[in-house]
Structure formats: structure tokens, C-alpha cells
Amino acid sequence: MNHKFLDLIFGGEENSLEQKIFYVSCLTGTLACLQGSFMNFLRFNTEFGFILFFIGICYLIFYLFTKFVDYTKNIHFLVYIITIINFYPIIWILDGGILGTVPYHFPVFIVYLFLSLDGNRKKVAFLSFFIMITFLIFLQYFNPNMFHREQNIHEKILSVYSQILTIFLSLYFLMYIYFQELKSKKESLEKLAKNDPLTRIFNRNHFFEKVEFCLKNTFDKNMYLMMFDIDDFKNLNDKYGHLEGDKVILKVVEIIKNNISEDDFIGRYGGDEFVVFFNNKNDDYIREFCFKIKNSIQSINFFESISMSGGISKYDKNFDMDTFIKIADDKMYEVKRSGKGKVCF
């Protein structure tokens, strides 16, 4: 089955899990009622056929209304209550009650209630469902003729098969959206583990994991490491507040990201310190890059001028990772001691 189509009808990441489950319940309710209606028309039970057709259309309207007009948990809850106190009793009576096919749907409906409602809504829905089913069972027990419905063996087999197919599709859709949700949460957690929360660039650990991978798997290419920080950033933070300081950090990161190639990447080393890795570049490219970003950072529109100090380390095959980092770090602090606002190559 085409997963893009399923994402279209149930919604992508913009919809909550509860909302997707509600869509599944509406569409499987539509399917169950329409196929039941079709089978009743085939055996000339037109009254029951029209009732099922009407209920199926109601579920489709519920779906379309919440999908394309508005979705709220109150409407969601109201649809389930209408199902419990109106639709289930009607179908229960017309389909033979406990001897019909409606009870096959109860386990799946309970799953819908449990997964898609919360708090008091869930309690009210479960209590209403329990009271209604108990009432219908006792009503059938004391007045069985009210629920009697003639069906030959072939009709019974087709009816049961039809309900099993609907339940199978319902469970398939539920499992699909559930595992999609798990996959989405896993990807989000992996992203959080690799990225800095504020800037969304690589955090320190993941940055150097990527650097190590490049050093081990790239041969005969020039590689560079740039370490830099924002000059007097602590004073900016203290003077203008952390929110303004964060804006400066985000602007600096944006400038770097807009000027590096696809082979290069940036990470947050800590605080206002950042590291950039350059893969397969040359000295002229690095010098031009440093000149460009130094000027771009100095032109940031802030309460006062912004500048950066940085150091560049060129990789040598005799370097280990610590040496590669230390050279860039030492050059950055050399710039700090000599007046700031430059990049030492």
C-alpha cells in the first residue's frame, strides 16, 4: 500500500497521534457501514441498507469536517459519544444484537477510545460504552424476539468475512500510524543527540565524530579546522541579556552556514565558540572564506559592533585529533592576545 497516500489521508507530522487515530476510526467506520449497506442491498434488505449507508456517510462527513475545516478534541469526543448512544444501538438492534457482527468491532473501538481520548473524556466515553452495551445485552436477554434476524449460512459467512476485513484494515492502519510515530520520535531523539538545541548545528561530540570519520576515510585531500568565537560575548550577554545574545549567535551561525560548501560542516564547541571543518579545499579558498565571514560578522546589525577571533589548523597525516584541534585553538588565542577581530592561518 502506498504510504504517501496513507500520509495524505491520515496526516503527516503536523497531526498528533490522537488526531490520526480519530481519522482511522472515521474512515474504517465509513468502510464498515458502506460495505454492510452494499451487502444488505444485495439481499434486498433495503431499510437496513439505507440506514447503514446514512451512518457511513455521517462518518465520512465527520472525517472531512475535521480534516479540512477544523479539528478539536471536543468534536472528536462528540463523534465517539454519537457512535455509542446512537449508531451502535441502531446497528445492534437491526443486525441481530449479540448474534450479529457488531460485537466484532468492540475490541477495536475500545482501542480507539483508549488511544485517542484523555482525562475525563476517556472516562466518560468508557463509562457510556459500558452502560450502553450492558443495557443492550440485558434488553436482548429479556426480549430476544426484538433482535431476531433471519440469515442463511452464506449470508452469515459473507457478513462475518466483511467485518473481519474491516477490522483487519483498521488494525493495519493503527499499526501503521503507531510505527510512523515511533519512527518520528526516534529521528527526533537522534537529532537532539547530534545537534545543538539553540543553533541546530552539530554539537561538539557529533562534530568531532564526523571529523574523525573524514580523517580516516579521506585521502590525498587538504583538510582544515577553524575554531573561532565571538569577541567579548560575555559582556554583550551581561549588557543586553541572553535573548539578544542568542540572536547574535544565531546570526553568526547563519552567516557561516551560508558560506560553507556541502562537504564542510559547522559545530558548536561550547558557549560562543564554534568549529568549522573544511574538506578538500586549498589555502586560497580558506583565506577568502575567512575574509568574507569576518566582514559579514562585523556588519551584523546589533546595538554595537560584533567581531570574531579565529584560528585555522591545516591537517597533516602525522596529526592525531588532539593535535589538529590544539593548533586551531592556540592560533585563536594568539589572535585574542594580539587584539582580536582577526583569523590566524
Across the 345 residues of the chain, what is the mean pLDDT of every consecutive 10-residue run? 66 77 88 84 80 91 83 84 90 83 86 88 93 92 77 73 82 83 78 83 90 80 91 89 91 93 91 92 91 90 88 89 91 88 83
**pLDDT of amino acid 165:** 83
Q: Which SS3 state, helix, strand or coil, does residue 274 take?
A: strand
Overall CATH class of domain 204-344: alpha beta
Strands of the sheet containing 343-344, edge to edge, are 265-270, 273-279, 223-230, 308-314, 343-344
- How far is it, in rounded angstroms, from Cα 234 to Cα 246? 12
Per the listing, cell 477495536 goes with 108
Task: Answer whether 125's CB lies under 8 Å from 77's CB.
Answer: yes
Q: Which SS3 state, helix, strand or coil, does residue 12 take?
A: coil
Task: Answer whether 311's CB lies under 8 Å from 328's CB.
Answer: yes
Domain boundaries, the chain: 3-193, 204-344
**pLDDT of amino acid 185:** 79
Residue 91, amino acid: I
**pLDDT of amino acid 20:** 86
Q: CA Rg, the chain, in Å?
A: 32
Task: Answer whether 311's CB lies under 8 Å from 227's CB.
Answer: yes
Element (H, E) at 225: strand 223-230
- Number of neighbours of residue 221 by Cβ within 10 angstroms: 11
Please give the DSSP secondary-structure letter assigned to residue 98.
G
Put residue 229 in one of left, alpha, beta given phi > 0 → left and psi -120 to 50 → alpha: beta
One-character DSSP codes across 297-340:
HHT--SSS---EEEEEEE--TT--HHHHHHHHHHHHHHHHHTTS
Interacting residues of 81 by C-beta distance below 8 A, sequence separation 6+: 124, 125, 128
- How far is it, in rounded angstroms, from Cα 256 to Cα 343? 14
- How far is it, in rounded angstroms, from Cα 90 to Cα 67? 27
- How far is it, in rounded angstroms, from Cα 140 to Cα 131? 14
Per the listing, cell 463509562 goes with 127
